């Protein structure tokens, strides 16, 4: 019965199109992070130095560190935004026109289908960082009253990947880091935080 209810809830939230904005910056002559995974509900903001832009090219052009032809999105020097809804599902290759050929300054955006898992809010002061994450994810909660908390990791299809924290009573500020490198592979996941009768989902990207 619980599985049926959960499935219905996931379908409803999938249709509402919850989104997350991912930020790509520059570190010298590299994009940071150089690879991100998003869903078509998400958005990407490029915050770049004034000498860098980001233009989509073909895989062959990307492999050759070339700068033409431009075949898709184009972000001007200094940065801009790209809507996930404007990108097709799959991998999009981009490069800096000024520094792609000389420094190999390039990156990829992997676009996944819209997820079947909702993102919601709960009463606690909830923080989950860093995101994207490589190794350890830190979760901070500050429930106003004592609560029983359980934290789980789900994949895009809504299947349970790992129980990060079994049911534990939390009172006051709770901060804990959880290793993910041996739990799940690269991709988009959802962390579920259950507090008594309330549940929140936060999208994360594992690099």
**CATH code of the domain containing 52:** 2.60.40.420
* Residue the block writes with tokens 């990307």: 62
Q: Provide φ and ψ at 156, rounded to 5°.
A: -65, -25
Rounded-to-integer distance, Cα 5 and Cα 207, Å: 32
Mean pLDDT of 1-15: 40
Both 81 and 35 in a single domain?
yes
Both 104 and 177 in a single domain?
no
Into how many domains does the chain fold? 2
pTM (two decimals): 0.55
Express each pLDDT in 94-112 by its tens digit: 999 999 988 999 999 988 8
Mean pLDDT of 169-187: 89
Query: How high is the pLDDT of residue 18?
Result: 53
Mean pLDDT of 138-159: 88
Both 36 and 85 in a single domain?
yes
Express each pLDDT in 61-97 by its tens digit: 999 998 888 899 999 999 999 988 888 888 999 999 9
Q: What confidence tier does 119 reach under pLDDT thresholds 50, 70, 90? A: low
Express each pLDDT in 18-52 by its tens digit: 568 899 999 999 999 999 988 887 899 999 999 99
Residue 143 maps to a domain: yes
Domain that holds residue 103: 18-112
Q: What confidence tier does 17 reach under pLDDT thresholds 50, 70, 90? A: very low
Residue 5 maps to a domain: no
Q: Which residues, at least 6 apart from 111, have a Cβ–Cβ distance to it below 8 Å?
A: 37, 38, 39, 40, 84, 87, 88, 89, 90, 91, 92
Helix (H) or strand (E) holding 13: helix 2-16
| E-only strand ranges, the chain | 21-26, 31-32, 35-39, 43-47, 54-57, 70-75, 79-83, 90-95, 106-112, 127-129, 136-141, 147-155, 160-170, 174-179, 187-195, 198-206
Both 195 and 127 in a single domain?
yes
Rounded-to-integer distance, Cα 112 and Cα 98, Å: 29
Within 13 Å and on the Cβ side, how many CA atoms surround 38?
28
Query: How high is the pLDDT of residue 85?
Result: 83
Bridge partners of 113, per DSSP, are none
Position 6 pLDDT exceeds 80: no
Position 115 pLDDT exceeds 70: no
Both 54 and 136 in a single domain?
no
Residue 45 maps to a domain: yes
Are 206 and 187 in contact by the 8 Å Cβ rule? The answer is yes
**Tokens linked to 46:** 């490029």
């Amino acid at each position: 019965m619980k599985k049926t209810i959960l499935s219905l809830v996931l379908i409803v939230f999938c249709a509402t199109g919850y989104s997350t904005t991912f930020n790509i910056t520059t570190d010298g002559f590299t994009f940071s992070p150089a690879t991100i995974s998003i869903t078509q509900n998400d958005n990407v903001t490029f915050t770049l130095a004034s000498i860098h832009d980001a233009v989509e090219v073909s895989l062959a052009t990307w492999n050759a560190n070339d700068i033409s032809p431009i075949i898709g999105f184009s972000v001007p020097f200094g940065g801009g935004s790209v809507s996930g809804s404007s990108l097709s599902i799959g991998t999009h290759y981009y490069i800096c026109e000024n520094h792609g050929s000389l420094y190999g300054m390039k990156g990829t955006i992997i676009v996944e289908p819209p997820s079947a898992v909702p993102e919601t809010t709960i009463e606690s002061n909830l923080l989950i960082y860093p995101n994207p994450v490589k190794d350890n994810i830190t979760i901070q909660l500050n429930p106003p009253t004592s609560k029983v908390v359980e934290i789980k990791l789900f994949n895009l299809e809504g299947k349970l990947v790992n129980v990060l924290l079994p049911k534990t009573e939390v009172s006051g500020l709770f901060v804990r880091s959880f290793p993910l490198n041996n739990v799940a592979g690269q991709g988009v996941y959802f962390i579920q935080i259950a507090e008594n009768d309330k549940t929140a989902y936060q999208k994360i990207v594992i690099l």
